A and B are shown apart, each in its own frame.
Chain A
Amino acid sequence: MSSPFSINGGACVAMVGKDCVAIACDLRLGLQALTVSNNFPKIFQYGDVFLGLTGLATDVSTVSDLFRYKVNMYRLREERNIAPSTFANLVSSSLYERRFGPYFVSPVVAGLDPKSGRPFICGFDSIGCIDFAKDFIVSGTASEQLFGMCESLWEPDLGPDDLFETISQALLSAVDRDALSGWGAHVYIVEKDKVTKRLLKGRQD
């Protein structure tokens, strides 16, 4: 596979629960079949908003740094944290700016709306088309496997603990059927006034 989206491998998934959201990613960084690192997280936290980035690893780093800069500038001007839906539109317009020379990334955004506390998740293609979803968003080389898992395990109004179990089982089982993803996982459970980050070991092959 010489598509820039599948050189380095990786997977990311976000889910909506009852008054909470979850976002999780694997930890692998590879060069085609060769694993280079087993500690390459793909989720980045900007205040109350979480951004998952899969795709070309150099673009994952570049884009995550770019949004850290943009979110910091927003915070200095506005004197408040950026809201998830605002950040989603920032991601969309920033990616579309590169319409004819895109970053090879498939971003996922997750967070709780700071005013209403309502869960918010969305996904994007590499040129910024937003996919608003009420249930879950998947991205990366294990996206097909994740679609199968999420579509069968996810149900509405899961509490934080059940949501953690659901997203973890979905991610672990999905990446075990994808040679380019795996080697451990990060899982974030976002509740009002509380963020829980867990590290999953998973299969080390």
Chain B
Amino acid sequence: MAMFSQNPVLNGPNYSFAEVPKDAVDGLREHRFNPYTDNGGSTLAIAGADFAIMAGDTRLTSGYSINTRYAPKVFKIGGTTSSQDDANLLLSVVGYAADGEALQERLDAICKMYRYRHGKPMSVSACAKRLSTIMYQKRFFPYYVYAILGGLDEDGRGAVYSYDPVGSFEREQCRAGGAAASLIMPFLDNQVNFKNQYVPGTGVGHELKERERLPLPRNEVEVLVKDAFDSAVERHIEVGDGLQIMIITKDGIEEKVLPLKRD
């Protein structure tokens, strides 16, 4: 059944404790602990001219079960207190929820220490490199997460940094992560970076002019985020329930939670 399965869910165990085979022969028996679970879900980040927007759905799954309909994936990082009122960074984590939370707590503690020692918040570029170091330190027992870091850079422009589980990172205009990344990412290429869009009547072949890349206004980006998740919810069972959106501007961080389909 699973041999030629096009459904990744059927290709391996989805639980931390893999089922012990009941037909195992007597005598020697191998016991195994699987330290990772895929908790599904999806995240998305877009950098604007003077803002960055980070979003994630709030469903938490293991296998075909929904463990909770409200588990946030986007976190404020680097505030002075636990209320995070004066936080200047955003981190989204998707993959294995326990590792995501551990990573978030560790990065937050480091940013808080930096603030205490230097008397100023950590810049997004410094935090980006620091996060990469933290993740690579666990190169051979990684945090099983796809992380995205967001904030405003030194010039006040929106910044988005995306990571693989071992800390390889890159600054980008936009990025989707997690279960529905493959559904959302081409949409972002097309609608944020205007890929495959050309100005009509500017010639044929290589003479065609690409549509100019203008930074999108905040209200348009919010609509794109909502549309991207509504589409992902429609076709991916691990995505749904709620959409947590955080927007960082020079005036601080705004948070809202919108409903998504719960089926």
Contacts from A to B (Cβ < 8 Å): 3-5, 104, 143-145, 147-149, 151-153, 169, 172-174, 176-177, 201-202
In the A-B complex, list the 5 residue pairs whose CB atoms are closest, starting with the nearest. Answer: A148-B183, A151-B231, A152-B231, A173-B190, A144-B182
- Tell whether, in the assembled complex, residue A147 and residue B6 are in contact, meaning their CB atoms are under 8 Å apart: no
Kindly provide the distance from the CB of B174 to the nearest chain A CB, expressed in whole angstroms. 13
Q: Please judge, given known A-B contacts A152-B187, A176-B189, whether A145 and B197 are in contact too, CB under 8 Å.
A: no
Determine the distance from Cα of A145 to Cα of B6 in the docked complex, in whole angstroms: 14
Cα(A111)–Cα(B192), bound, Å: 33
Measured CB to CB, the nearest residue on chain B to A174 is: B186
If over half of A's interface residues share one DSSP class (helix, strand or loop), that class is named, otherwise mixed; here it is: helix
Cβ of B183: which chain A residues have Cβ within 8 Å of it? 144-145, 147-148, 151
CA distance A176 to B185 in the complex (A): 10
Scan residues 1-36 of chain B and give those whose CB is less than 8 A from a CB of chain A: 4, 6
A-B contact pairs, 12 of them (CB 8 A): A144-B183, A145-B182, A147-B183, A148-B184, A148-B228, A152-B231, A153-B190, A169-B197, A173-B187, A174-B186, A177-B186, A202-B196
B4–A173 CB distance below 8 A: no
CB pair A151–B234 under 8 Å, yes or no, is yes
B232 at interface, CB cutoff 8 A: yes
Is the CB–CB distance between B186 and A145 below 8 Å?
A: yes
Does B235 touch A at the CB level, under 8 Å? yes
Contact B235 A148 (CB under 8 A): yes
Which residues on the A side are within 8 Å of B187 (C-beta)? 148-149, 152-153, 173
Residues on the B chain within 8 Å of A3, using CB: 4, 6
A177 CA to B184 CA in the complex, in Å? 10
Query: Would you call B6 and A148 a contact (CB within 8 A)?
Result: no
Q: How far, in angstroms, from A202 to B186 measured CA to CA in the complex?
A: 14
In angstroms, Cα B176 to Cα A145, docked, is: 12
- Among the interface residues A143, A147, A151, which one has the most CB atoms of the partner chain B within 10 A? A151
Nearest chain A CB to B233 CB, angstrom units: 9
Q: What is the bound-complex CA distance between A173 and B235, given in angstroms? A: 18
Contact of B4 (CB < 8 Å), options: A4, A151, A153, A169: A4
Task: State which of B4, B182, B205 has its C-beta within 8 Å of the C-beta of A148.
Answer: B182
Alpha-carbon gap, A144 to B7, bound state (A): 11
Give Cα A4–Cα B189 distance, bound, in whole angstroms. 29
Give the size of the chain B interface in residues (CB under 8 angstroms). Answer: 22
Cα A144 to Cα B185 with chains together (Å)? 10
CA of A78 to CA of B195, assembled, Å: 48
Residues in B neighbouring A147, C-beta threshold 8 A: 183, 235
Contacts of A149 in B (CB 8 A): 186-187, 190
A147-B183, A149-B187 given; A176·B195 CB < 8 A? yes
- The reply to whether B189 and A148 form a contact with Cβ atoms under 8 Å apart is no
Q: Is B180 part of the contact surface with A, judged by Cβ < 8 Å?
A: yes
| B227 interface residue (CB < 8 Å to A) | yes
User: Nearest-CB distance from A2 to chain B (Å)?
Assistant: 10
Closest to A104 in B: B4
For B231, list chain A residues within 8 Å (CB): 148, 151-152
B2 to nearest A CB, angstroms? 11
Asked whether, in the complex, the Cβ of B189 is within 8 Å of the Cβ of A173, the reply is: yes
Centre residue among A152, A173, A176, A202 by max chain B CB count within 10 A = A152
Asked if B190 and A177 make an inter-chain contact with CB atoms under 8 angstroms apart, the answer reads: no
- A152 CA / B231 CA spacing, docked (Å): 6
Most chain A beta-carbon contacts within 10 A, residue among B180, B183, B195, B205: B183
Expressed in whole angstroms, the Cα–Cα distance for A162 and B190 within the complex equals: 16
Q: Min CB distance, B117 to chain A, in Å? A: 42
Query: Which residues from chain A contact B197 at a C-beta distance below 8 Å?
Result: 169
Contact B186 A173 (CB under 8 A): yes
Instruction: Report the Cα distance A148→B4, complex, angstroms.
Output: 23
**A16 CA / B228 CA spacing, docked (Å):** 21
Interchain CA distance A153-B188 in the complex, whole Å:
12
**A145–B183 alpha-carbon span in the complex (Å):** 5
Q: Which residues of B contact A169 (CB under 8 A)?
A: 190, 196-197
Cα distance A152–B225 in the bound complex, in angstroms:
11
